[in-house]
Chains A and B, each alone.
Chain A
Amino acid sequence: MKKTILALLASAFVATAAHAAFPDKPVTITVPFPPGGSTDMLARIMTPKMSEKLGQPVIVENKPGATGAIGAAQIKRAAPDGYNVLCASIGVWAANPFLQKNLAYDPAKDFDLLMVAVKSPNILVVNPNVPAKDVKELIAYLKQKNGKVSFPSSGAGSSDHLSIALFWMITNTTGIHVPYKGGGPAIADLVAGHAEVSFQNLNNVIQHIKAGKLRALATTSEKRSPLLPDVPTMVELGYRDMVVTSWQALGAPKGLPADVKAKLHESMVAALKDPETAKKLTDPGFEIVASTPEEFSRFLNAELAKWKTVIEVGKITLD
């Protein structure tokens, strides 16, 4: 017994002298986007409780650029000592590899996956002037308009762009994809009636749905959202493969010592399970996942496979 403890101690000491008492300095969570987006919000809401649990400050650092690729590549190159953590979205983890030609990281190979923290369903919304009252009518409308219906998204290659592509693929329809610089202006044009149909994060459109400025036709989650109990899921309507959620997940550079990994994971779970923190996340529409690293790994592989197909079949390219 004593020997094993000694051996453990020794190996811990040899591995990295610093992590003998991880953490003994502030932990940095890198968000590869500018301040203010969903991912940044998640990180900033989680960190106070994580700091409490770890007994060291947890700092959020924004490293935006190239739809998250710059920040992710920086974390890949950082030391795997637990002090460098990446908090990124579905785009960084599952879409960039098929969209960016010279991507400097491989999401499945370069990181020690920690957890999927939260997810939020996308909602199929239309401007109230669009005659379609449900998905069936929308499909008929799209076919009748011969593809001349505008679908705004928050950017070329964004998760809502991919949702649109998947929708067209599954329902055998088409339309005009109109990319914007972020979700805000896209929703503004949708509300104003300059654009017609879109998939948007629930939290970004819920107030417009409640105010009657947008009509919700379906949700893309597996189950109906408690915030919109009357809106059916695409699965219920018979489109089994039309399951799209936006998600945020955390990872660290490959080669994290097991005890450090466990400690980090534990602090994240503690933060997400804290009722006050959880409320701050569920109120704006996030669903808390707080997965294990193994669940994240399986999930990531499934997502990578799915978006590879959508991007290839939908012929989505960024050039």
Chain B
Amino acid sequence: MEILANLSLGFSTAFSLANLFYCFVGVVLGTLIGVLPGLGPVATIAMLLPVTFSFQPVTALIMLAGIFYGAQYGGSTTAILVNLPGEASSVITALDGHAMAKRGDAGKALATAAIGSFIAGTIATFLIALFAPPLADMALKFGPAEYFSLLVLGLVVSIVLAHGSLLHALGMIFLGLLLGIIGTDVNSGAERFTFGQPWLADGVNFVVLAMGMYGLGEIINNLEKKETRDVMAKKVSGLRLSWADFKQILAPIMRGTVVGSFLGILPGGGAVLSSFASYAVEKKLSKNPIPFGEGAIEGVAGPESANNAGSQTSFIPMLTLGIPSNPTMAIMIGAMMIHSIQPGPAVLTEQPALFWGLIASMWIGNFFLIVLNLPMIGLWVRLITAPYHLMFPVIIVFCAIGVISINNTEWDVFMMAFFGFAGYLFSKLECEPAPMLLGFILGPMMEEHLRRALLMSSGDFSVFVTRPLSATLLAVSLVAMVVVLLPAISKKREETFKE
């Protein structure tokens, strides 16, 4: 019953007029920056921090948190409509979401994303309320060795992401790994593959790569065959989900929520993995006649839920331990300190109204988001029916602005243009960019944790198997690899038999 008392304290805090208002402001702002490609929550929260100086601490945090999960939410809209993933997590949404939009089902895809996010957000809120402290302790069990093994699992799973040629997918993963190495090495501080250029010293930015490969590449592709675009816009069909659709997405949403809630609490990239992992799970379990990658609705429902659940549970280590699990949480910690609150275990006992108020506000914020976004779907869908010759210059301009806003450097725009051309080339060669982006994200993280684990063990490789959690993860990777490879092998056999 304690939980009820806590939640009622939370809701009574969050339901004050000011808190409701700023929660609303936060999610609206978040949705806006999420929809605009390239603009991220980190810069927005940093810029708005001084505005919150005069607020009550809980009000400030409620608004800033709203920006964060609102942006996660808005990001999927652009990914689905124009194939522009502004964040790592929406790369996956773009895969099947945009394919659905091309088929005329943009409304359905958006509704799926909205409902999935809402359900996942609701469940994650209760998970935080029930289990925050024990979950946070579990996150601490992940040392460098465990992270490395988790990332191995992620990379194995990424092979599932590929459809079409396994060879192409492997090639793209390796290209991604190589691109990820560009920049300053964490361990030695040495620069690699920067050719002495300071603008490469921090590596290639994910947003630059993703927007080039997807957004610009797609535009070049569309311009080449200019009829298809306008045709697809004309056959916009169902905006609403039918009951049958809903039944189809419910299980993926639930599975996505579980995957996302778990991976979200891991500091350092756990949340990125969640949508990839959920996609792989759904692809394996799907009975949908539409193949994944060509507009399967589960491919939107699962990852979107995972992504939202993960962004919610990423608050757990921040609130209960004072440990940021991503850059946004690091800024939130700064915001708390400016308001004289030391994030850490004491927040729960010393500031229960703040802790529970923030958690309750997340549920309210999710509610605002769905109320705000479901009616907007019609409007969004009408937006992509605009003539393409008007659409694409606008998209390019927004991409350029978004990219400039990250590091304030024109080089990133040039790089985006380069990757746009590369993206076009790869689509001609039938090479999917998704495995490449995964390699790009996972590669440097794997290297970092591998080398750190070995540094700490003085070069002893046995740490990966003597630590139980790490050993388990490696074992699961092995099983996953077998499961992934078996059908491929048996299919090849079938093919040989046919001939």
Contacts and interface: CB of A to CB of B under 8 A. Distances in A.
A284 B322 CA distance: 13
A34 B205 CA distance: 13
A34 B323 contact: no
Contact of A284 (B323, B327, B338): B338
A180 B186 contact: yes
B334 A284 contact: yes
A44 B50 contact: yes
A194 B342 contact: no
A148 B455 CA distance: 10
Contacts of B345: 207, 211, 213
Nearest to A158: B189
Interface stretch (B138-146, B157-165, B369-377): B138-146
A211 to B, nearest CB: 5
A219 to B, nearest CB: 17
Contact of B334 (A41, A62, A194): A41
A66 B323 contact: no
B448 interface: yes
A65 B338 contact: no
A155 B186 contact: yes
A102 interface: yes
Interface string B339-352: 11011111000000
Contacts of B202: 64-66
Interface stretch (A131-139, A181-189, A301-309): A181-189
A143 interface: no
A29 interface: no
Interface string B109-152: 00000000000000000000000000000001111100000000
Contacts of A203: 337
A231 interface: no
B36 to A, nearest CB: 17
B408 interface: yes
Contact of A179 (B47, B50, B189): B189
Nearest to B334: A41
Nearest to B326: A184
A184 B189 contact: no
Interface string A34-57: 111000110011011000000000
A152 to B, nearest CB: 9
B468 interface: no
Interface residues of B, number: 53
A156 B189 contact: yes
B47 A207 contact: no
B334 A65 contact: no
Interface string A2-44: 0000000000000000000000000000000011100011001
A2 to B, nearest CB: 44
A176 B196 CA distance: 29
B34 interface: no
Interface in B19-61: 42-43, 45-47, 49-50, 53
* Interface residue tally on A, bucketed by range: 35 or more
Contacts of A40: 46
Given A178-B456, A187-B323, A102 B188 contact: no
Interface string B167-210: 00000000000000000101111110000101101100000000
B452 interface: yes
Contact of A157 (B189, B321, B330): B189
Contacts of B452: 178, 180
Contacts of B317: 188
Interface string A73-109: 1000000000000000000000000010010100000
Contacts of B456: 150, 176, 178, 194-195
A61 B49 contact: no
Contacts of B47: 35, 60
A191 B53 contact: no
Interface string B440-484: 000000001000100110100000000000000000000000000
B201 A65 contact: yes
Contacts of B86: none
Given A35-B47, A36-B334, A65-B199, A207 B455 contact: no
A146 B327 CA distance: 36
13 contacts: A40-B46, A45-B338, A65-B198, A65-B407, A66-B198, A73-B198, A150-B455, A155-B189, A156-B187, A176-B455, A188-B267, A189-B143, A283-B339
Interface of A: 34-36, 40-41, 44-45, 47-48, 60-67, 69-70, 73, 99, 102, 104, 148, 150, 155-157, 176, 178-182, 184-185, 187-189, 191-195, 203, 206-208, 210-211, 213, 279-280, 283-285, 318-319
